[in-house]
Amino acid sequence: MIDSQPARQEQLKTTLLKLNARAWGIALGLLLGLGLALATIVLVFRGGTAVGPHLSLVGVFLPGYSVSIAGAFIGFAYLFVIGYGIGRLIGSVYNKLARSD
């Protein structure tokens, strides 16, 4: 039996270049969600007269979000979904471009 070395190399290249789009989505979703949740919780525990005036502007884009403990969970949920979508898109586009070579 004759092994086709170029075909194996091409298969290895394709396998190595392929990204797991779901893993990218979960990773980016967790990164963005936890980032906002952590920033919100830090500001809530710091307290003061004006708690997070700049971060509270995120509520314009994320309905229901506020600089509070409940807002941290709401913001995490929103940004996890947004980050998942962006990560999934990055993985899918990369895989399509890597296969076209």
87 in Cβ contact with 94 (< 8 Å): no
Local confidence band at 24 (pLDDT 50, 70, 90 cut-offs): very high
Most confident of 6-15, 52-61, 78-87: 78-87
Q: Which amino acid is at 13?
A: K
For residue range 69-80, list pLDDT tens digits in order: 999 999 999 999
pLDDT value for 5: 78
pTM to 2 decimal places? 0.80
